[in-house]
């Protein structure tokens, strides 16, 4: 059993679960923004630039942008006009987008590339610390566009966030999701998963909580994609590949690192 810490975004998460009016604007709450909605306008431009590079390098044509930006429908996120940066992109009707959604698109493409690299056409995914579920939504859209079937997508988070993920992803009609709270997850897991994801999450937990997830969850996954944002990297994690995050949103001295195997 994990130690239960309390976090500033838990109250607004639970309020948004219980109250539809609050759900309509939970992404504006200052406590929520400090943890989950703090990507800047300028970083949004850098994400677009890296998305374009990924499109060119991997011949990813006609991305389903209109699907991805559905991530901005709920929660009243802060959006910016990126029309100038997106004017050479096909298949996009809305160019006023949340920079956080641009980040999820950018990571979604990188994770999809990784799934392609490990040769999976059908995959079970488990994500620890997935926020309100934005990465899950966008990765689903990318995978379904490129013919990868996500058989199950399990999200583990604090109880209030877990409930918010369930509400958010159900409203956006994302299928095959299982949302589990950190305290009850162990009894409800299956024996193996194909891919473990944790971006800006696992690395932020206390060492005890990191060890809990490495021992009980990561060890039952064949592959992993982790963005580690709080050095040092846990010594129990068998790191195979390390790559600096692009664009780098971490500290110059302690850059964020993407870990895969
Ligand atoms: C900085 S956010 C990262 C969110 C998301 N991965 C993203 O890329 O936007 C950290 C996440 O870890 C979650 N979290 C905090 N403690 C946790 C725990 N003990 N177990 C699982 N998730 C936890 C938070 O609720 C939040 O969803």
- What pLDDT, on a 0 to 100 scale, did the predictor assign at position 7? 78
Type and span of the H or E element at 204: none
- What pLDDT, on a 0 to 100 scale, did the predictor assign at position 204? 94
What's the Cα-to-Cα distance from 164 to each of 32, 74, 130, 133, 228, rounded to whole Å? Answer: 12, 12, 11, 8, 24
Could you tell me the distance, in angstroms and rounded to a whole number, from the CA of residue 61 to the centre of ligand 1?
Answer: 32
Q: CA 70, CA 67: separation in Å to the nearest integer?
A: 5
Q: What is the dihedral of CA 244, 246, 250, 253, to 10 degrees?
A: 50
> Where residue 91 falls among pLDDT bands split at 50, 70, 90?
confident
> Where residue 139 falls among pLDDT bands split at 50, 70, 90?
very high
135 Cβ closer than 6 Å to some ligand 1 atom: yes
186 Cβ closer than 6 Å to some ligand 1 atom: no
- Residue 2 tokens read as 């994990």
Which residue's CA is minimally distant from atom 12 of ligand 1? Answer: 129
pTM of the model: 0.96
Mean pLDDT on 241-258: 93
Percent of the chain whose pLDDT exceeds 90: 85
Domain ranges of the chain: 10-260
> Where residue 59 falls among pLDDT bands split at 50, 70, 90?
confident
Mean pLDDT on 15-34: 94
**Residue 125 backbone dihedrals phi, psi, to 5 degrees:** -120, 145
Mutate to test the pocket of ligand 1, among 6, 8, 127, 129 (most ligand atoms within 8 A of CB): 129
Q: CA 161, CA 225: separation in Å to the nearest integer?
A: 21
- The DSSP bridge pattern shows strands 149-157 and 122-128 to be parallel
Tell me what the pLDDT averaged over the chain comes to: 94
Evaluate if residue 5 carries a pLDDT over 70.
no
Evaluate if residue 32 carries a pLDDT over 60.
yes
The CATH number of domain 10-260, selected from 3.20.190.10, 3.40.50.800, 3.40.50.150, 3.40.50.720:
3.40.50.150
2 Cβ closer than 6 Å to some ligand 1 atom: yes
Which residue's CA is minimally distant from atom 8 of ligand 1? Answer: 199
104 Cβ closer than 6 Å to some ligand 1 atom: no
Q: Which residues contact 166 (CB under 8 A, 6 or more apart)?
A: 177, 179
Residue for token pair 């809305």:
94
Evaluate if residue 103 carries a pLDDT over 90.
yes
Which residue's CA is minimally distant from atom 21 of ligand 1? Answer: 157
Measured on CA atoms in the order 91, 97, 101, 103, is the torsion positive or negative?
A: positive
- Residue 250 tokens read as 């971490």
Which residue's CA is minimally distant from atom 27 of ligand 1? Answer: 131
- Residue 151 tokens read as 């058989």
């Amino acid at each position: 059993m994990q130690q239960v810490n309390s976090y500033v975004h838990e109250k607004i998460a639970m309020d948004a679960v219980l109250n539809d009016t609050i759900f309509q604007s939970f992404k504006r709450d200052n406590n929520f923004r400090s943890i989950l909605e703090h990507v800047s306008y300028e970083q949004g431009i850098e994400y677009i630039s890296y998305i374009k590079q990924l499109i060119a390098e991997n011949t990813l044509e006609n991305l389903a942008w209109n699907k991805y930006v559905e991530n901005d429908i709920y929660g009243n996120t802060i959006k910016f006009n990126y029309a100038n940066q997106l004017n050479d992109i096909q298949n996009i009707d809305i160019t006023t987008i949340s920079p956080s959604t641009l980040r999820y698109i950018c990571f979604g493409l990188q994770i999809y590339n990784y799934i392609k690299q490990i040769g999976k056409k059908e995959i079970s995914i488990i994500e620890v610390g997935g926020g309100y579920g934005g990465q899950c939504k966008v990765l689903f859209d990318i995978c379904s566009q490129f013919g990868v079937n996500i058989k199950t997508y399990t999200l583990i988070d604090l109880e209030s966030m877990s409930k918010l993920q369930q509400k958010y992803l159900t409203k956006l009609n994302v299928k095959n999701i299982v949302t589990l709270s950190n305290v009850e997850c162990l009894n409800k897991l299956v024996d193996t998963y194909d891919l473990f994801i944790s971006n800006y999450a696992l690395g932020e937990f206390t060492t005890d909580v990191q060890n809990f997830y490495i021992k009980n969850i990561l060890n039952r996954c064949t592959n992993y994609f982790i963005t580690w944002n709080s050095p040092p990297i846990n010594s129990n994690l068998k790191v195979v590949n390390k790559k600096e995050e692009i664009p780098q949103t971490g500290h110059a001295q302690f850059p964020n690192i993407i870990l895969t195997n």
